[in-house]
Amino acid sequence: MLLEALADNQVKFIVVGAYAAIMQGSTLRTDDLDLCYERTSDNYKKIVRALTPFKPRLRDIPEHLKAPFDAQSLAQGTNFTLTTDLGNLDLLAELSGVGGYKEIAADAKAIKIGSVVCQVASLDTIIRSKEAADRPKDRLTLPELKALKLIQQREREGRDR
Amino acid sequence: MTRETEEALRQLIDNPPAGSAIAEAKKFGVDLYSIVENLKLTPTERFRRAAAETDFVRRIRENIKKGDS
């Protein structure tokens, strides 16, 4: 539903992180949906319009310190870890080792989820970002992601034969 | 995925080329057969399944929190 709301409002976003890998066959599990968004004032307004019905608020921040979720806040920050009525959502301006929306879009794939066609980060991009982030939880995912890439290649070859 | 492709992938997992990403992942303990099963699903099915699991875990956490308070 979040993806539909974002698409309905013509938000420019790319699914990144574990969900991007899952859409492509990974068995990774995650608590949140990670999206990279285009940093333009027009897109900030669209993001706010799309997400407001789901009551987005900053995650793990004391209630009295919470800033409003509006276009101005988006313009002033970069990465936002949110919770919504539909679950956790991370809005990211950039991915480590890859760059921002434009760089990720360069080899993103269009994948249909339900009625929505989403831009989804390529496995190469996900692998590069996990290698660059290099946190223990990122390192744990790399063997699977690299194997998935090879299995996908073989599967495609089988399909094309 | 055709049965032939699935069989070829299973053989690749059973006997991966030495030093390949598949061999490394196997050594690491990744269940590569689950990837083959996932590739039989559509992206929508993969997404919905993951979302349902995420939601299930979220509801359990909420219930634990409620129980603590």
Nearest 5°: the CA angle A15, B47, B7 is 110
Q: Look at residue B62 and tell me whether its pLDDT is greater than 90.
A: no
CB contact under 8 Å between B22 and A159, yes or no, is no
Question: Beta strand pairing status for A87-92 and A32-37?
Answer: parallel
Closest residue, chain A, to B44 (C-alpha):
A113
pLDDT at B69: 62
- The token duo for B65 is 């929190």
CB contact under 8 Å between A23 and B46, yes or no, is yes
pLDDT in tens, B38-52: 999 999 999 999 999
ipTM: 0.86
Of B21, B48, B50, the CB nearest to A147: B21
pLDDT in tens, A83-98: 998 889 999 999 999 9
Reported confidence tier of residue A102, pLDDT bands at 50, 70, 90 = very high
Q: Which amino acid, A73?
A: S
Of A25, A147, A159, the CB nearest to B46: A25
- The token duo for A39 is 């940093």
CB A17 within 8 A of CB A90: yes
Distance CA B49, CA B66 (A): 26
Q: Is A117 on the interface with B (CB under 8 A)?
A: no
**Mean confidence (pLDDT) of chain B:** 90
CB contact under 8 Å between B5 and A155, yes or no, is yes
Burial code (b: 16+ CB inside 10 Å, e: under 16) for B7-35 equals ebbeebbeebeeeebbbbbbeeebebeeb
Q: What's this model's pTM, rounded to 2 decimal places?
A: 0.91
